């Protein structure tokens, strides 16, 4: 089994841009879910701050560098979103790559 790339992305969205951010992100997430190396994603909003969002993503990509090259660059469905995303954010998005330790699931 290939090791999966697992990471989360944090977004601090300007209050007046939340609706546009959610619409744009949802469109990108729908499209990226059809990619060959896509495994899963969870899109969350902070319960205590309606301007903070987190994506938790799992991919069959060997590294973050490969993910950036294969999934963030050259995808037509991302081009428009990537162009206007910085204008929606109060600070740059933050990527954090995770190394698995263990896993439990409901039986």
- pLDDT of 2 reads 58
Tell me whether residue 9 is in a domain. Answer: yes
How many whole angstroms separate alpha carbon 12 and alpha carbon 43?
14
Spell out, as residue ranges, where the chain has pLDDT lower than 70. Answer: 1-2
Domain of residue 14 covers: 5-98
105 within a domain of the structure (yes/no): no
- The answer to whether 37 touches 72, Cβ cutoff 8 Å, is no
Read off the pLDDT of residues 34-63 as tens digits, 9 standing for 90 and up: 999 999 999 999 999 999 999 999 999 999
CA dihedral sign, ordered 92, 93, 94, 97 = negative
Query: Is residue 36 in some structural domain?
Result: yes
Please report whether residue 91 resides in a domain.
Answer: yes
Q: Is residue 103 part of a domain?
A: no
Task: Please check whether residue 107 lies inside any domain of the structure.
Answer: no
pTM here? 0.89
CATH number of the structural domain spanning residue 66: 3.30.70.100
Question: Taken in order 63, 46, 91, 79, is the CA torsion positive or negative?
Answer: positive
Distance CA 56, CA 54 (A): 7
Predicted local confidence at residue 1, as pLDDT? 47
Close Cβ partners of 41 (under 8 Å, ≥ 6 residues apart) = 29, 32, 33, 55, 56, 57, 58
Q: Give the total number of structural domains in the chain.
A: 1
């Amino acid at each position: 089994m290939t090791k999966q790339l697992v990471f989360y992305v944090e977004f601090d969205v300007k209050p007046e841009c939340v609706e546009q951010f959610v619409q744009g992100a949802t469109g990108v997430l729908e499209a990226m879910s059809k990619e060959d190396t896509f495994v899963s994603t969870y899109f969350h909003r902070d319960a205590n701050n309606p301007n903070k969002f987190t994506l938790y993503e799992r991919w069959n990509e060997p590294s973050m560098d490969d993910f950036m090259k294969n999934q963030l660059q050259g995808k037509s469905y991302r081009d428009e979103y990537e162009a206007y995303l910085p204008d929606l954010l109060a600070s740059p998005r933050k990527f954090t790559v995770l190394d698995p330790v263990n896993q439990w699931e409901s039986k």
